[in-house]
Amino acid sequence: MHLVEHTGAAVTPLRTQPIPCYNVFTMKIRKAIIPVAGMGTRFLPAAKAQPKEMLAVVDKPVIQYIVEEAVASGIEEIIFVTAIGKRAIEDHFDRNFELEYRLEQKKKMEALKEIQKIGKLAKIAFVRQTKPLGDGHAILSALPFVEKHEPVAILFGDDIIDGKIPALKQLIDVYNAYESPVIALQKVPKKDVSNYGVIGGKKMKDGSWQIDRFVEKPSVAEAPSDLIVIGRYIITPEIMAMLPKVSAGKDGEIRLADAFAAYLASGKSLYGCQFDGTRYDCGSKLGFVKAQIELGLKHKDIGADLKKYLKTLT
Ligand code: G1P
């Protein structure tokens, strides 16, 4: 296992002091696990020699948008689960003293500020997933850096969610209200549900969902609703404890989706947050291009010119 913490100071272990209160639901969500070990086969050849998470949307890599969402939601420590070929992600969130020095010399102070900001976003650790055995296995690889009684946020590396309130913050609010694990949900046309986890459940007065079914990638006919699961979750130690027991799939993978299904089958409460915000699936070509256009239109440097340019297209 490989652990690095980029604080700009001496490397210290991420593990915190023993936590005096063991009621998991009174614990603030401070840590996030971001699995980024996937090969990005949906995004070849762009992801052949660089992590797909490092592809830029306008001027920032996709992974930075995701880390910024986590930090804006109150996350202080991030554990990336990486694999071979993902070193660029480590470098991106590290300080780059030579670059900072050169920007300073050239009086490029705005760029300098942007670059320095990245190294200070959060305490960051990297752990390797030694075998490609699924998202559940990736999460288990990060467990040595999570307290036994600690709930954590999970953010998948593909989706950028743009909105006034960070999507993860909205999930954390639901977690705090119901004291149960939470899944991010989005309504899609029914014909599109089969690439996702799909839930069934009851809408609560506050707009969140009490989930009673979780079906991974169902056929349109079998889907319990048109509410799909997006890669943002709050999971509790109970879910984590289920992960090693659900090494189910024919391919030997451990999947978070199976742990949720097992958790529901054991009669426990699970909630869904239909977040406000626009989601861009940057693991797909179309989603990635949509993100470029829409976030480009909002960008202070190029927004107005891009708008003019798009109007010239027939
Ligand atoms: C995973 C989950 C699925 C979820 C999706 C969101 O699937 O298993 O439930 O809907 O992420 O992106 P994957 O995209 O890894 O096949």
User: pLDDT tens, 250-300?
Assistant: 677 899 999 999 999 999 999 999 999 999 999 889 999 999 999 999 999
Nearest CA to ligand 1 atom 13: 196
CA dist 277 and 61 (Å) reads 19
Cα–ligand 1 centroid distance for 287 (angstroms): 15
Cα–ligand 1 centroid distance for 9 (angstroms): 36
Nearest CA to ligand 1 atom 15: 135
pLDDT of residue 2: 44
- The maximal CA–CA distance of the chain, rounded, in angstroms, is 63
196 CB under 6 A from ligand 1?
A: yes
pLDDT of residue 6: 44
Mean pLDDT of 15-37: 71
Mean pLDDT of 203-214: 95
For residue 216, what are the contacts with CB-CB under 8 A and spacing of at least 6? 197, 198, 255, 257, 258, 261
Atom of ligand 1 nearest to the CA of 256: 8
156 CB under 6 A from ligand 1?
A: yes
254 CB under 6 A from ligand 1?
A: no
Cα–ligand 1 centroid distance for 311 (angstroms): 35
Strand pairing class (56-57; 31-35): unpaired
Domains of the chain: 28-300 (3.90.550.10)
CA dist 79 and 236 (Å) reads 16
pLDDT of residue 306: 97
pLDDT of residue 295: 97
